[in-house]
């Protein structure tokens, strides 16, 4: 509410802004002017409304008079009997006035009930006071007591000269009620009147106080009505004290903050206003500012203090809105001579700001901890690229204390050879370009280190450049390892180059050697074939003549020695020796043939007469070639086991015969008794020939080496001269089989037998249908 005493007229009372509490209406200390009349204090129209309403509700007549019985208001609810009949007569009017006067006198101490002098109707009254001065009476009545004798009233009507018929009719309309009910109405009226009296006095006192305030303000110079309004409407809670420490302003914002109305605080002094903040009278900042106390209350956190002014913050615990953090500023008010004439204090609720500050501080603290404990160095630069923040890691990295880095230009931290690069980065950052790059930095001691830098420009909320932020990771170790690796790689590359050079040289040498070897090989083959040819001619003669001499000797000369034991024995020895010459010459021929075959194959001069062949036909021919051998060895059974359909091969049939004959001869040669079996199978892709025997077997360690040249399994020479081999047969077999893309290998169990496997790839299907051998000829035994 405003504290403007000149505001609109309030109900009932002139010159008063509000209804005062009943307790204030005791008049103590209040000067009541003698000449003040009822109509000066109350608004008669308002009072009239109240009187009319009361009369209508209570069903009584009512009127307010001055202490002398003169009406102040218009009659309410008056009966026709009293108004128009009794008061119409002179006697009746005089009786009524007299009654009213005596009622007024009788009700000074409290409600009074009686009967009127005129018709004896029930009347009641109560008095209205202003302070201790009696200023009016409030009358009610014109009610017929139910127990009353109406004839006595009619008799009174006759006595004052009223028309009896009209009198009786009017009397019938007079309200009737019990005396008790009427008494209650009078009591209610009395309480009502007392309340109005108290109200009038309270408001008068208020008005008086406000007048005084106005005078005080006038003294303080706050005469300007606008200024008063300004203070009242200031958004910050504000109070003003005069030089005696009395509250002369308590604005709306302060009412809202404290929940205490201005009217209850205006005029309060002796630090009583502190109750609104602390629950008990307490000096405020303003009391310090105006010099009423020598030091501010210890609960204030003072941020600024001067001769006439003080700024502090404090937590208020007893405000209606709960705990609030407030900021207050108080200054002394001085008059033109410099004398203190009061003080003003403005308060600002900073709870939200405080909470926001606390949250911000906590958030900053959190981020500071994160930054401080970060493994990366963090450096913040201002617009001049000078350090404004460096975390511990950053400082450690460069050998500074964090504070030592502040204010230094970032170039202080850059290795000299990287300064041009750093300047280029700076220019880019200034253009708003972020980047991640590797940089060489310089420690405080001048040492160098490598860092991986992630740099970005910093802007304020308006987008203005604030500088830059950099995150630094020490990558010196990584760089060293990279360098070592690079060196290592270079060394390796050099070594590889050198080796490659050597290898190239060696390859060239090998190629040359190869050429020489090929030449030598060719020369060797040419030599061998020449030598073999030259050897074969005399050998043929030796063989022929040895055979001829042997036959002649045996047939012509040996019979001549018959009967002469010594000559006979000598003749047989000559025949045996001739036989040795013959066999050795035969063996030498085989050897020369084998050597010639092998050298032809190896030198590539072999003439392969390849053609489509039906393998079974060829194999049968090969089997027949050992028929003579088998005939001499009846203890050996030969089995030829062939599947019905064997695909064609594309090869020289003589070479196939040579391979298989060699294997069959070996099988017979190294088998005393038992079986030699040739098996022929196919899987569609190749023809597989196995020559197995039940002979002496081959040690496992020699299963591969027997395919080498001149390799013979070492065992006591138990073979006959005729069976002695050259050690070249299997080598030739291997060469032939490999020439046709096939494979040859041996399996064996010592003492139980051996098996030689030959696998030769078939002719592709599109090369023509295979000739299917005669089924009846399969599994035959020659």
Residue 696 within binding range of ligand ADP, rule CB under 6 A: yes
Nearer to ligand ADP, 140 or 623 (CB): 623
Give strand pairing partners of 179.
none
Judged by beta carbon, residue 142 or residue 726, the one nearer ligand ADP is: 726
Whose CB is nearest to ligand ADP? Answer: 725
Residue closer to ligand ADP (CB basis): 284 or 696: 696
Tokens of 32: 């009541």
Q: Which one, 170 or 728, has the nearer CB to ligand ADP?
A: 728
| Alpha-carbon separation of residue 550 from 536, 542, 554, 572, 585 (angstroms) | 20, 12, 6, 11, 14
Would you count residue 778 as binding ligand ADP (CB under 6 A)?
Answer: no
Cα 202 off chain centre by: 69
Closest C-alpha to 46, from 22, 25, 16: 16
318 forms part of the interface with ligand ADP (CB under 6 A): no
Does residue 692 belong to the site contacting ligand ADP (CB under 6 A)? no
Where helices occur in 221-334 by DSSP H, the ranges are: 225-233, 252-258, 262-265, 275-278, 285-289
Residue 754 is a binding residue for ligand ADP (CB under 6 A): yes
**Of 223-231, 242-250, 288-296, 724-732: span binding ligand ADP (CB under 6 A):** 724-732
Say how many CA atoms lie within 13 Å of 666 toward its Cβ: 27
Q: Chain centroid to CA 460: how far?
A: 26
Alpha carbons 255 and 276: distance in angstroms, whole number: 10
Please name the residues in contact with 321: beta carbons below 8 A apart, sequence gap of 6 or more: 257
| Distance of closest approach, residue 695 Cβ to ligand ADP, in angstroms | 5
Q: Is 693 in the site for ligand ADP (CB under 6 A)?
A: yes
Binding to ligand ADP by residue 471, rule CB under 6 A?
A: no
Candidates 725, 734, 742, 773; binder of ligand ADP (CB under 6 A) is: 725
Report if residue 744 touches ligand ADP, rule: CB under 6 A: no
| Minimum separation from the CB atom of position 666 to ligand ADP (A) | 3
Taking the least distance from each CB to ligand ADP, the nearer of 515 and 722 is 722
DSSP 672: S
Q: Per DSSP, which regions of 617-732 are E strands?
A: 636-642, 649-651, 674-682, 686-693
What is the Cα–Cα distance from 192 to 214, expressed in whole angstroms?
33
Three-state SS for 731? Answer: helix
Is 706 among the residues that bind ligand ADP (CB under 6 A)?
A: yes
Nearest approach in angstroms of CB 774 to ligand ADP is 29
Non-local (6+) Cβ contacts of 379 within 8 A are 387, 389, 390, 391, 394, 405, 410, 413, 469, 470, 472
Residue 63 contacts ligand ADP per CB under 6 A: no
Segment interacting with ligand ADP (CB under 6 A) among 156-164, 220-228, 603-611, 723-731: 723-731
Residue whose CB is less far from ligand ADP, 625 or 712: 712
Of the candidates 713, 757, 771, 778, which one interacts with ligand ADP according to CB under 6 A? Answer: 713
- Three-state SS string over 729-757 comes to HHHHHHHHHHHCCCEEEEEEECCCEEEEE
Alpha-carbon distance 536 to 514, whole Å? 31
Q: Does 695 bind ligand ADP (CB under 6 A)?
A: yes
Given the DSSP bridges, would you call strands 674-682 and 636-642 parallel, antiparallel or unpaired? parallel
- Segment interacting with ligand ADP (CB under 6 A) among 417-425, 534-542, 553-561, 691-699: 691-699
CA gap 623, 257 in Å, rounded: 130
- Conformation bin of residue 467: beta by default, left when phi > 0, alpha when psi is -120 to 50: left
CA distances from 259 to 50, 292, 344, 600 (A): 33, 26, 20, 129
Q: Does 730 bind ligand ADP (CB under 6 A)?
A: yes
The smaller minimum CB distance to ligand ADP, of residues 415 and 728, is found at 728
Closer residue to ligand ADP in complex, CB, 189/659: 659
Q: How many residues bind ligand ADP (CB under 6 A)?
A: 19
The answer to whether residue 652 forms part of the interface with ligand ADP (CB under 6 A) is: no
Residue 145 or 584 having the CB closest to ligand ADP: 584
Q: How many CB atoms lie within 10 A of CB 646?
A: 24
| Residue 522: CB minimum distance to ligand ADP, A | 25
CB of 687 to ligand ADP, least distance (A): 21
What's the token pair of residue 584? 């050795």
The binder of ligand ADP chosen from 200, 347, 698, 760 (CB under 6 A)? 698
H, E, C per residue of 472-484: EEECHHHHHHHHH
Q: Which stretch binds ligand ADP (CB under 6 A): 68-76, 269-277, 390-398, 705-713?
A: 705-713
* Cα–Cα distance measured from residue 694 to residue 677, given in angstroms and rounded to the nearest whole number: 9
Provide the minimum distance between the beta carbon of 751 and ligand ADP in the complex, in angstroms, as a whole number.
11
Q: Which is nearer to ligand ADP, 292 or 667 (CB)?
A: 667
* Closest approach of ligand ADP to the CB of residue 497, in Å: 48
Q: Which two tokens stand for residue 407?
A: 């204010």
Piece of 54-62, 255-263, 632-640, 726-734 that binds ligand ADP (CB under 6 A)? 726-734
Shortest Cβ 568–ligand ADP spacing (Å) = 36
Least distance in Å: CB of 591 to ligand ADP?
A: 9
Which two three-digit tokens encode residue 4? 């403007």
How far apart, in whole angstroms, are the C-alpha atoms of residue 698 and residue 706? 9
Least CB distance to ligand ADP at residue 657 (A): 15
Q: Which is nearer to ligand ADP, 336 or 751 (CB)?
A: 751
Of residues 242, 726, 734, 736, which one binds ligand ADP by CB under 6 A? 726
Nearer CB in complex with ligand ADP: 453/706? 706
Of 226, 482, 238, 246, nearest to 341 (Cα)? Answer: 246
What is the number of other CB atoms lying within 10 angstroms of the CB of residue 96?
Answer: 21
Residue 555 DSSP one-character state:
I
Residues paired with residue 140 on neighbouring β-strands, in sequence order: 62, 124
**Which residue in 352, 355, 276, 375 sits closest to 316, CA to CA?**
276
Query: Considering beta carbons, is residue 117 or 728 the nearer one to ligand ADP?
Result: 728
Q: Closer to ligand ADP at the Cβ: 571 or 725?
A: 725
Minimum Å gap between C-beta 673 and ligand ADP is 14
Footprint on residues 653-672 left by ligand ADP (CB under 6 A): 662, 666-667, 670
- Residue ranges that bind ligand ADP, judged by CB under 6 A: 662, 666-667, 670, 693, 695-696, 698, 706, 711-713, 725-730, 754
């Amino acid at each position: 509410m405003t504290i403007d005493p000149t505001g609109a007229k309030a109900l009932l009372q002139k010159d008063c802004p509000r209804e005062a509490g009943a307790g204030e209406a005791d008049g103590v200390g209040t000067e009541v002017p003698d000449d003040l009349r009822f109509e000066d204090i109350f608004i008669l129209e308002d009072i009239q409304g109240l009187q009319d309403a009361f009369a209508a509700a209570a069903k009584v007549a009512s009127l307010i008079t001055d202490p002398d019985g003169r009406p102040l208001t218009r009659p309410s609810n008056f009966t026709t009997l009293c108004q128009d009949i009794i008061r119409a007569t002179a006697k009746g009017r005089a009786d009524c006035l007299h009654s009213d006067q005596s009622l007024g006198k009788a009700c000074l101490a409290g409600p009074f009930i009686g009967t009127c002098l005129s018709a004896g109707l029930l009347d009641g009254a109560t008095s209205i006071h202003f302070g201790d001065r009696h200023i009016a009476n409030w009358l009610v009545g014109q009610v017929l007591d139910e127990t009353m004798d109406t004839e006595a009233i009619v008799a009174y009507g006759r006595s004052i000269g009223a028309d009896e018929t009209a009198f009786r009719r009017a009397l019938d309309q007079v309200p009737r009620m019990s005396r008790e009910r009427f008494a209650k109405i009078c009591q209610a009226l009395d309480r009502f009147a007392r309340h109005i009296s108290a109200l009038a006095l309270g408001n008068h006192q208020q008005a008086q106080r406000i007048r005084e305030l106005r005078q005080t303000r006038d003294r303080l110079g706050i005469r300007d009505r606008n200024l008063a309004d300004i203070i009242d409407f200031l958004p910050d809670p504000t109070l003003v004290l005069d030089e005696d420490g009395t509250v002369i302003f308590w604005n709306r914002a302060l009412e809202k903050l404290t929940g205490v109305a201005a009217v209850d605080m205006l005029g309060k002094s002796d630090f009583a206003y502190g109750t609104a903040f602390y629950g008990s009278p307490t000096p405020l900042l303003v009391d310090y500012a105006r010099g009423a106390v020598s030091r501010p209350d210890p609960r204030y956190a003072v941020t600024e203090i001067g001769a006439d002014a003080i700024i502090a913050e404090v937590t208020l615990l007893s405000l209606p809105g709960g705990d609030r953090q407030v900021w207050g500023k108080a200054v002394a008010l001085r008059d033109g001579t410099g004398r203190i004439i009061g003080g003003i204090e403005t308060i600002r609720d900073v709870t939200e700001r405080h909470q926001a500050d606390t949250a911000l501080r906590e958030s900053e603290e959190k981020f500071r901890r994160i930054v401080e404990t970060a493994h990366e160095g963090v450096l913040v630069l201002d617009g001049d690229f000078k350090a404004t923040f460096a975390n511990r890691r950053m400082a450690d990295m460069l050998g500074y204390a964090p504070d030592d880095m502040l204010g230094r230009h970032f170039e202080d931290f850059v290795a000299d050879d990287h300064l041009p690069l750093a300047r280029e980065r700076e220019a880019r950052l200034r253009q708003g370009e972020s980047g991640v790059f590797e940089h060489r930095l310089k420690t405080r001691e001048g040492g160098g280190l490598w860092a991986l830098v992630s740099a970005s420009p910093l802007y304020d909320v308006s987008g203005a450049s604030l500088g830059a932020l950099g995150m630094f990771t020490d990558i010196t170790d990584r760089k060293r390892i990279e360098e070592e690796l690079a060196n290592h790689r270079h060394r390796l590359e050099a070594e590889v180059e050198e080796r490659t050079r050597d290898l190239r040289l060696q390859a060239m040498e090998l190629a040359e050697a190869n050429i020489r070897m090929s030449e030598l090989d060719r020369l060797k083959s040419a030599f061998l074939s020449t030598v073999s040819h030259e050897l074969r001619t005399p050998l043929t003669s030796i063989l022929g003549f040895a055979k001829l001499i042997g036959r002649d000797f045996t047939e012509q000369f040996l019979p001549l020695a018959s009967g002469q034991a010594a000559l006979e024995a000598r003749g047989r020895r000559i025949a045996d020796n001739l036989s040795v010459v013959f066999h050795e010459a035969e063996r030498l021929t085989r050897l020369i043939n084998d050597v010639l075959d092998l050298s032809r194959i190896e030198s590539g001069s072999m003439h392969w007469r390849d053609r489509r062949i039906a393998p079974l036909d060829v194999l049968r021919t090969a089997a027949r070639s050992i028929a003579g051998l088998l005939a001499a060895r009846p203890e050996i059974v030969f089995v030829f086991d062939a599947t019905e359909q064997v695909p064609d091969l594309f090869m020289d049939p003589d070479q196939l015969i040579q391979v298989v004959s060699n294997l069959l001869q070996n099988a017979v040669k190294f088998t005393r008794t038992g079986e030699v079996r040739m098996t022929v199978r196919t899987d569609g892709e190749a023809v597989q020939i196995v020559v197995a025997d039940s002979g002496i077997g081959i040690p496992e360690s020699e299963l591969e080496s027997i395919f080498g040249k001149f390799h013979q399994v070492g065992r006591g020479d138990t073979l006959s001269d005729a069976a002695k081999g050259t050690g070249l047969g299997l080598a030739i077999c291997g060469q032939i089989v490999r020439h046709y893309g096939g494979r040859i290998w041996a399996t064996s169990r010592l003492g139980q037998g051996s098996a030689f496997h030959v696998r030769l790839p078939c002719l592709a299907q599109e090369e023509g249908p295979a000739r299917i051998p005669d089924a009846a000829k399969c599994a035959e035994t020659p």
